């Protein structure tokens, strides 16, 4: 315990000595600085300040200016595309000054850009402002549904997707609620929107009618499943596997009986009403 107390006392003395040394150094530095200031004439310092050159300030925005210059020197088509993208994203009517500020395309200084933008089918110009012009002027999901119902034979989704920002989400919502169908066109690989309305009158081409009447399906379900697989479709049933299980359990397949065609009456709901030729040979009571 005594040795520990002696160590602490020694440490305190060393700290006091260091502090005293630092105080003396600071005092000497202050006095030497004051002496040097007194020995320097004021006229010398003023003349030195007068002769010192003013530093030249260069722009720190060089990269941005180079970017703006490259845009304004770009071909007219590239500048038009940049403006149309801006109008599509904002969906606002913008003056030439606002366009210049937002995307650095100066339509006032470039007549070719101004004229091309004014005559572009995707742009509307009211004399002061430019705005985006979609093929169909729609604002919300209700207007979208009303438009689709006007096209019972289908309307291309590509003609709808630029109507307003969230039109694709509304199309999926209408499909999920069962109000429309979204089917793919095998020729162009594009989606077609159809109204899901059983009252809609659909015009069917004569070629499609002849194809429908001339198509004969296989009588055996196994053959039907094979045809589906040939066309890249997965059958919902597996008749061969089901029949194999029945044979294992000793279940004999039921003999196929020829079903009697149901008679057509006035109360019968005709789902293929757009093909009246199919019902020409049917005897409808009371007709």
Domain membership of residue 241 as a residue range:
217-252
CATH number at residue 116: 1.10.10
Which tens digit of pLDDT belongs to each residue from 41-50? 444 444 445 4
Report d(CA 186, CA 22) in Å as an integer.
Answer: 90
Domain count, the chain: 3
165 in a domain, yes or no? yes
pLDDT number for residue 268: 60
Is residue 23 in some structural domain?
no
Dihedral sign from CA coordinates of 150, 153, 155, 157: positive
| pLDDT score recorded for residue 37 | 47
Q: How large is the average pLDDT for residues 200-212?
A: 78
CA pair distance 15, 2, nearest whole angstrom: 20
Instruction: Tell me the pLDDT tens digit for each residue of 114-125.
Output: 999 999 999 999
Lowest pLDDT segment from 4-8, 51-55, 113-117: 51-55
**Are 147 and 183 found together in one domain?**
yes
Pair 174, 141: CB distance under 8 Å: yes
Token couple for 100: 């210049």
Domain contains 118: yes
Q: Is residue 272 part of a domain?
A: no
Q: What is the pLDDT of residue 43?
A: 45
pLDDT tens for residues 253-285?
A: 666 666 666 665 656 656 666 666 666 655 555
Q: Does residue 21 lie in a domain region?
A: no
Same domain, 66 and 103: yes
Show the beta-strand stretches assigned E in the chain. Answer: 123-125, 130-132, 155-156, 180-184, 191-195
- Mean of the pLDDT values across residues 198-202? 69
Average pLDDT over residues 73-95: 93
DSSP H/E element including 62:
helix 62-72
Is 105's pLDDT higher than 70?
A: yes
- Amino acid 262: pLDDT: 61
- b/e per residue, 31-64, with b = 16+ CB within 10 A? eeeeeeeeeeeeeeeeeeeeeeeeeeeeeeeeee
Q: Provide the b/e sequence for 76-111 (b: ≥16 CB within 10 Å).
A: eeebbebbbebbeeeeeebebeebbebbbbbbeeee
pLDDT tens, residue by residue, 126-177: 999 999 999 998 989 999 999 999 998 889 999 998 898 899 999 999 999 9
Q: Look at 32-46, 151-165, 220-234 and tell me which has the smallest mean pLDDT.
A: 32-46
71 plus 95 within the same structural domain = yes
Distance CA 168, CA 188 (A): 19
Judge if 125 and 68 occupy the same domain. Answer: yes
Token representation of residue 26: 């600071």
Beta bridge partners of 192: 156, 183
Query: Are 182 and 228 in the same domain?
Result: no
* 36/118: higher pLDDT: 118
Mean predicted confidence (pLDDT) in 51-59: 52
């Amino acid at each position: 315990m005594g040795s520990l107390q002696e160590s602490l006392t020694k440490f305190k003395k060393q700290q006091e000595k260091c502090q005293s040394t630092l105080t003396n150094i600071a005092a000497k530095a202050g006095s030497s600085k004051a002496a040097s200031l007194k020995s320097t004439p004021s006229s010398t310092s003023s003349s030195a300040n007068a002769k010192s050159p003013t530093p030249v300030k260069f722009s720190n925005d060089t990269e941005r200016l180079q970017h703006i210059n490259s845009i304004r020197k770009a071909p007219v088509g590239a500048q038009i595309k940049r403006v149309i993208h801006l109008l599509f994203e904002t969906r606002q009517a913008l003056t030439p000054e606002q366009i210049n500020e937002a995307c650095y395309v100066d339509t006032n200084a470039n007549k070719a850009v101004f004229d091309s933008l004014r005559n572009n089918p995707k742009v509307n110009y009211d004399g002061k402002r430019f705005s985006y012009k979609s093929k169909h002027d729609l604002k919300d999901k209700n207007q979208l549904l009303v438009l689709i119902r006007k096209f019972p034979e289908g309307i291309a989704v590509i003609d709808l997707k630029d109507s307003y920002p969230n039109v694709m989400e509304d199309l999926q919502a209408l499909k999920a609620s069962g109000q429309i169908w979204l089917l793919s066109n095998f020729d162009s690989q594009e989606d077609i929107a159809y109204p899901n309305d059983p009252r809609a009158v659909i015009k069917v081409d004569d070629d499609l009618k002849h194809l429908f009447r001339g198509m004969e399906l296989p009588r055996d379900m196994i053959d039907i499943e094979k045809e589906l697989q040939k066309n890249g479709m997965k059958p919902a049933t597996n008749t061969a596997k089901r029949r194999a299980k029945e044979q294992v359990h000793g279940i004999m397949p039921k003999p196929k009986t020829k079903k009697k065609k149901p008679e057509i009456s006035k109360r019968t709901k005709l789902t293929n009403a757009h093909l009246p030729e199919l019902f020409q040979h049917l005897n409808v009571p009371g007709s």
